[in-house]
Amino acid sequence: MDLFKQKIEELRRKINEANYNYYILDNPTISDAEYDRLMRELQQLEESYPQYKTADSPTQRVGASQLTKFSTVTHRIPLLSLDNAMDEAEVLEFVSRVQKAPGKQLEFVAEPKIDGLAVELVYENGIFVSGSTRGDGITGEDITQNLKTIRSIPLQLRSNQHPIPSLLEVRGEVYMDRNDFERLNEQQLAEGKPAFANPRNSAAGSLRQLDSRITANRSLSIFCYAPGSCEGFSFKTHIEFLQTLPLWGFRINPLIKLCKTTDELIDYYRSIETKRDTISYDIDGVVFKVNSITQQEELGIKSRSPRWAIAGKFKAKQEITRILDIETSVGRTGAITPVAHLQPVRIGGVTVSNATLHNQDEIDRKDIRVGDWVVIQRAGDVIPQVVKVMTERRNGAEKPYRIPAECPVCRSHITRPEGEAKHRCQNMNCPAQIKGRIQHFVSKRALNIDGLGDRLIEQMVDSGLINSVADIYFLKKESLAALERMADKSAQNVINAIDASRETTLARFIYALGIRNVGEHMGKVLEREFKDLETLIAADYERLEAIEGIGPIVARAIRDFFDEENNLQTVNRLLEGGVGIAKSKTGIQDERFARKTFIFTGTLTKFTRDEAKEIVEKKGGKASSSVSNKTDYVVVGENAGSKAGKAKELGVKIISEEEFFEMVNNPFFNKQP
């Protein structure tokens, strides 16, 4: 078995998957940076091990392998994105949100939202010096050479109608006309190359060519729509900026309109949507921007988008097709998702062959059956969905669907946890979950095995060295050292770290198991309550639910977990493997605090709330915020409110802050409450 070969195949799979999601499903799943990293790693491995090079490797795809060679540029001012309004009501909400501040009717610039790629063009003293992609908004790729091939981008600003600023950054959308896209695809197919899924992908593909002669042969265009950094030039309104752009030689969209009333805005939204299919390029909505720059500045920006602009999206595109089959897939957390396999159908220029059905409730609610004709919707970047079933097209052969009782990956029993819509595979060693489970198990706050990093875990699982968290405690130095890139000394270090982790606490152990909804805090609660593992495992649902701080959802999750035979075996093997759980120290704790619940109300003068809570927790108690019959003490500060009253009603002991202070500092005070 060769780990490098496996690694290469794994990378190819990931990259192909990413490409598929991006180009075909129009649904990117990883960042550009992550994609670049995978591609780089693959290229390096293929260079070092040319015996594993294949003609179908993603590195052999024209252009793609050269992506990494573009240099990175940091934008002087980040390129923001836009918040979305999904319908007219949301546009109106936006309008009233922004109107509120200045109190009078604002003017808005309305523009089509071009479905292309955002770029930034930089001009110094009127000369085009560089251009970049949007990237993550902060940094992008330098694509100057490619942008220079686009004829609608001026290489030199016109100066006869307007003065030239010393620095001008202009942002815009590069796109491909639908006609050009069709023509390009014909040509691609004629040359035996794959067709692009849609005009945006073909524009992206063309802009990302390292060889700019290829880009030059593609008909790309640009509409400019926003300023970046400007020096030696300012303007009072957005429309003034837009109107200046053509004077310098930039292209702006002919459908831009200044709207002075809300009615005009809504009319614009409607009329552009109606025109949508008659326009020669793809648009996916309209953009409304507050016209006045002063007002824009007053409204400001949120983390990634301005408060003064909104994208009014168009209704998603829908098509009709047939459900051929339904299958389940298991996610990394064990969540089971039913997926409909469709008769492939093109929606908005993309071929769709799968749709998510979310969960059993969704299937039942829509009464989705295998064989049904359905309306499928693909909206922007989201996974295609079933809008409704065309029951009128049923012939009686359609079959209702139930999520099976077995995990499609590990065949163990699946359950539907209390309060959750999704079914879940409960087996902590399910191959779909194992890597994530191990990562969690060894993490700092769990068993804290230093040196068992993600990469090593991946390597160990992929090579079959471990299939369960328990296997970690049976590892031999020799088998670790036999792994690729693992020196004798580092193998020993890992073994030492594993040894050091064997002594642990019940709280950490419980947390490490990764029981759903059982975090670090819950680990401590359970430790305090049960003191040893056997009692916890034996506790029934009622016993668990009776614990302060544990509700039905957590109680169910704990039961579900320990009811899974695989998990019990794993726990036993962990103990066999030498994991030692220290006896809980609760016994020697201050009985006045241990397992007692405190509520603080009113203003404290001697402690802050957090300090008081910390003291209680250190002493083995718990600080909570709402009074119930599980509360032991209510500590009242000044101006205490309704909680003291509620405590009285329930007969809970009420003490003053002074008394609490005494309790903390005097071990004999209030000894037997």
Q: What are the residues binding ligand IVH (CB under 6 A)?
A: 80-82, 111, 113-114, 118, 134, 173, 225-226, 287, 306, 309, 311
Please enumerate in sequence order all residues whose Cβ is within 8 A of that of 247, keeping only pairs 6 or more positions apart, or say none: 158, 161, 162
- 426 near 561, Cβ under 8 Å? yes
Which C-beta is closer to ligand IVH: that of 23 or that of 225? 225
**Catalytic residue chosen out of the listed positions 7, 14, 113, 613:** 113
In 3D, which of 60, 46, 18, 68 has the Cα closest to residue 210? 68
Q: How far is the CB of 229 from ligand IVH (least distance, A)?
A: 14
115 or 632, CB closer to ligand IVH? 115
Instruction: Tell me the residue nearest to ligand IVH as measured from the CB.
Output: 118
Nearer to ligand IVH, 26 or 111 (CB): 111
- Contact indicator for 69, 138 with CB cutoff of 8 Å: no
Instruction: Output the smallest distance, CB 131 to ligand IVH, in A.
Output: 14
> Which residues fall within 8 angstroms of residue 531, CB to CB, at 6 or more apart?
506, 583, 584, 586, 587
Residue 183 phi/psi, 5° resolution? -60, -45
CB of 228 to ligand IVH, least distance (A): 10
Whether 606 sits among the annotated catalytic residues: the reply is no
Return the exposure string of 316-355: e unless at least 16 CB atoms fall within 10 Å of the residue's CB, then b.
bbbbebbbeebebebeeebbbbbbbebeebebbbbebebb
The residue (of 8 and 109) whose beta carbon lies closer to ligand IVH is 109
Q: 301 or 345, CB closer to ligand IVH? A: 301
Neighbours of 550 (CB within 10 A): 20
Least separation in angstroms between residue 103's CB and ligand IVH is 24
Residues in contact with 386: Cβ distance below 8 Å, sequence separation at least 6, in sequence order: 323, 340, 355, 357, 366, 368, 374, 375, 376, 377
CB of residue 582 vs ligand IVH: minimum separation in angstroms?
A: 54
The distance of closest approach from Cβ of residue 83 to ligand IVH in the complex, given in angstroms and rounded to an integer, is 8
Question: How far is Cα 337 from Cα 356, in angstroms, rounded to an integer?
Answer: 7
* Residues sharing a CB contact under 8 Å with residue 435, sequence separation 6 or more, in sequence order: 332, 457, 458, 461
Nearer Cβ to ligand IVH (287/513): 287
Q: How far is CA 180 from CA 25, 89, 209, 224, 569, in A?
A: 22, 36, 17, 20, 62
Looking at the annotation, which residues are catalytic?
113
